[in-house]
Amino acid sequence: MERDLLLEIEKIINSGLSDEEIRDALGDYHENDIASVVHDLSKEDREKLYKFLSDEELANIFTYLDDVEDYIEELPVEKAADIIEEMDSDDAIDVLLELDEEDKNEILNEMDKEAVDDIKLIRQYDEDQIGSRMTNNYIAIQKDMTIKQAMKAVVDEAAEHDNVSTIFVLDGKKYYGLMDLRDLIIARNGTPLDDIVKTAYPALQATTDISECIQDLKEYALDSIPILNEENELIGVITSDDVVETVDEELSEDYVKLAGIVDTEDLDESLFTSVKKRIPWLLALLALGLVTSLLISGFHSVVAALPALVFFQSLILDMSGNSGTQSLAVTIRIITNEEIDKKLITKTVGKEVSIGFVNGTLLGTLAFVSVFLFLFISKTTIVVNTEFSTKACLLAAMSVSIALLGAMTISTFSGAVIPIIFKKIKIDPAVASGPFITTLNDIIAVAIYYGLASILFATFL
């Protein structure tokens, strides 16, 4: 039986129990469950909820809310500032960015200087740098502490930071290493702290592009990864939750780029904003499409003399585009997960071209038989102002078959090479999007198809 969370929480809020009893009852629910029903609560019940729960509890709930600005605006400025102070700095920034400038400034003026400084530190990094995703939710201790001193420091800081499974170790202000909380708990008194500190674990520079370190984030199964500044000082961490969110956002960005959109879209965006995101690549594709049309017009004499060839133009173009897109998707996945070197390039391009050639051979053979039978059975006249000719049918079928082989082989080559080139010149390979590859391969396929047909018919007929 499906639970009615809204009904359950409404009953608790309006139960008439003491504030402490209501708070305890609400504490049995995950923050995300409470957040999922906030929108459906009446404003009166939301006000009661705000009263019953602590600022820290509300902060945890608000991080799960969509349109969080609507609920922040229901609160007095002082209360809103207290709640945002309790959030991890990266979550606080996300909330503040949703507010208009006046409300944001009012809340910042009410917040503690330390919390504001944390926010300013993160805001100094560009949104495509890993520093923009870090949080101040971590515990750090000094390397010269004893086991007992370190344990006490962790206990003291645990009240302020709930990200306690990984403890970071400093040498003065410099980052030194990290340790698992478990190792600290089971360590014997008298054991040098250095014996349980791991100094060779990964750390990321705050200015590193997210796209460059995304593989590290996925591969290292750490609860937290340290973020360092240029002086090798620990300035924040990226948690496992942040990793999941960051990887998801990067995959979403790559997905929309593969569709020829320059940035992710929001359902609530204005029409103008959505158009602005889509139009750049559409303009580029329009230009390439015009090149395709001009190329076809250059073969007008071939089309005029051999009109039946137009029947199979879309077949050549579609198969070429599909092959190139498949190669593109596979190549982007490979170069995202691997460091690019000469061996990887040779292996990737060689395999994709081989696949394109084999697929082109198989499909080209099938196309030859199918096209010939269609033209022969339908007695289609191939050359204008001439009688039906079996030889002309064979030449038309050969044109389709060989063009299919050539177009699919070249399209897989371009689908593999273009993203590698983009990656080498520091351009996101996802920009080599499906529509771009498809349109480029259309140009190649048209040139092969009509060029080959003109040669074959001029030579053998």
DSSP states of 243-305: HHHHHHHHHHHHHHHHTT-SS---TTS-HHHHHHHHHHHHHHHHHHHHHHHHHHHHTHHHHHH
Question: In whole angstroms, what is the distance from residue 415 CA to residue 411 CA?
Answer: 6
- pLDDT-based confidence at residue 215 (cuts at 50, 70, 90): low
212's tokens: 């460059």
pLDDT of residue 428 exceeding 90, the answer is no
Residue with tokens 């009953």: 11
Q: Are 380 and 393 in contact (CB under 8 A)?
A: yes
Q: What pLDDT score was predicted for residue 149?
A: 93
Contact 299, 403 (CB under 8 A): no
What is the average pLDDT across 323-351? 82
Tokens representing 240 are: 């496992």
The token duo for 281 is 């690549």
pLDDT band at 436 (very low <50, low <70, confident <90, very high): confident
Amino acid in the structure at residue 28: D
d(CA 322, CA 261): 19
Q: What angle do the packed helices 31-38 and 5-13 form, to 10 degrees? A: 90
C-alpha distance from residue 348 to each of 213, 282, 363 (Å): 22, 29, 22
* β-bridge pairing 166-171 and 174-180: antiparallel
Say what percent of the chain tops pLDDT 70.
89
Helix (H, G, I), strand (E, B) or coil at 141: strand
Report residue 49 as tokens: 């909820």
CA dihedral sign, ordered 298, 299, 304, 307: negative
A 10 A CB-CB count for 402 gives 19
| In contact, 319 and 446? CB cutoff 8 Å | no
pLDDT at 23 exceeding the cut of 60: yes
Closest by alpha carbon to 177, among 150, 210, 211? 150
Q: 363 near 404, Cβ under 8 Å?
A: yes
- pLDDT category at 253 given cuts 50, 70, 90 is low
Closest of 175, 174, 178, 176 to residue 165, by C-alpha: 178
Domains and CATH numbers, the chain: 5-124 (1.25.60.10), 133-258 (3.10.580.10), 271-460 (1.10.357.20)
Q: How confident is the model at residue 254 (pLDDT cuts 50, 70, 90)?
A: low
Question: Would you state the pLDDT for residue 79?
Answer: 92
Least confident window among 186-195, 200-209, 295-304, 335-344: 335-344
pLDDT the model gives residue 168? 93
Q: Specify the pLDDT at position 460.
A: 85
Q: pLDDT by residue (tens digit) across 131-180?
A: 888 888 889 999 999 999 999 999 888 877 777 888 999 999 899 999 99
